[in-house]
Amino acid sequence: MTDLANDPLGGLPDKRQVAASFSRAAQSYDSVAALQRNVGQQLLAQLPAAISPVRWLDLGSGTGYFSRALSERFPASQGVAVDIAEGMLQHARPLGGAQQFIAGDAERLPLRDASCELLFSSLALQWCADFSAVLIEAARVLRPGGVLAFSSLCVGTLQELRDSWQAVDGFVHVNRFRRFEDYQRLCAGSGLTCVSLQTTPETLYYPDVRSLTHELKALGAHNLNPGRPGGLTGRARMLALLNAYEQFRQPQGLPATYQVVYGILRKG
């Protein structure tokens, strides 16, 4: 067995909940997706200069912003956008970019073997509990010489929020993220050639905690983990959270760190 048999990230939310949450967020997502734009642009900039795909796949395409960017970059290519959230696909379809918009799961791609030369995925794969399955699927659908370009998130993401909740209670209030070392190990064992894999922190600043949590909700990326507390957050616990987060305050505001992973892999 390769390392791919051992992807330790447990406890991610149920996929139906992920799909429902992103479907609900389809209308609000673009208005709050500044970091997602920036990360996707950086991923686009990392694509090998010589690449010229006949067919590309935008995996976890969301509102389709990067499907449209890919169609501009590769005007002669055919594009396929795949997302698990039907609401995102409904939002993206009329805006174009891809020729096909298909509901599907990154861990079980609805594509034929060796059917595309580029698999682009920005900030979607952190939602996949089984990253090894994603890599196996990428290796299956890419043609020889094809490229997997992904961005994702690893441990360290929303650490300030996690630490602040930790000071309040023992519940899981922040989504779990894979360790960067696990991305390294799984990519190295995938059978794909790892051209580059790196992680870099991005920090956003907010005037208060509510602005951050509202933004996470508008993105569809708020906490859905099993183990999260049920019901509304009580006033006393919310006040304790606000106090705890204040310890991180900087002149620019309350920081929220995203530990972004960028990977470029090639099929042999």
Ligand X SMILES: C[S@@+](CC[C@H](N)C(=O)[O-])C[C@H]1O[C@@H](n2cnc3c(N)ncnc32)[C@H](O)[C@@H]1O
C-alpha–C-alpha distance, residues 67 and 61, integer Å = 7
- The least distance separating ligand X from the CB of residue 133, rounded to whole angstroms, comes to 9
Stretch that binds ligand X, among 5-13, 45-53, 101-109, 226-234 (CB under 6 A): 101-109
Handedness of CA 172, 174, 176, 178 (dihedral sign): negative
Q: Does 159 bind ligand X (CB under 6 A)?
A: no
Stretch that binds ligand X, among 1-9, 76-84, 207-215, 226-234 (CB under 6 A): 76-84
Q: Which is nearer to ligand X, 127 or 244 (by Cβ)? A: 127
C-alpha–C-alpha distance, residues 141 and 144, integer Å = 10
Burial class (CB in 10 A: 0-12, 13-18, 19+), 130: middle
Q: Does 12 bind ligand X (CB under 6 A)?
A: no
Residue with tokens 């920081």: 255
- Which residue is closest to ligand X by CB? 62
Stretch that binds ligand X, among 124-132, 190-198, 204-212, 253-261 (CB under 6 A): 124-132
Binding positions for ligand X, 40-59, rule CB under 6 A: 40
Alpha carbon of residue 96 to chain centroid: 21
- Calculate helix-pair angle for 34-45, 65-73, nearest 10 degrees: 30
Q: Does 61 bind ligand X (CB under 6 A)?
A: yes
The residue type at 112:
R
Q: Does 36 bind ligand X (CB under 6 A)?
A: yes
Applying CB under 6 A, the site for ligand X has a residue count of 26
Residue with tokens 């006949």: 54
Q: Which is nearer to ligand X, 61 or 159 (by Cβ)? A: 61
Indicate which single residue of 56, 66, 183, 258 sits in contact with ligand X (rule: CB under 6 A).
66
The residue type at 60:
G
Residue with tokens 């609805």: 110
Residue with tokens 């399955």: 133
The DSSP call for residue 2 is -
Q: Which is nearer to ligand X, 168 or 264 (by Cβ)? A: 264
Q: Does 98 bind ligand X (CB under 6 A)?
A: no
Using CB under 6 A as the criterion, which residues of the chain lie in contact with ligand X when the complex forms? 15, 18-19, 22, 33, 36, 40, 60-62, 65-66, 82-85, 88, 105-107, 122-124, 127-128, 221
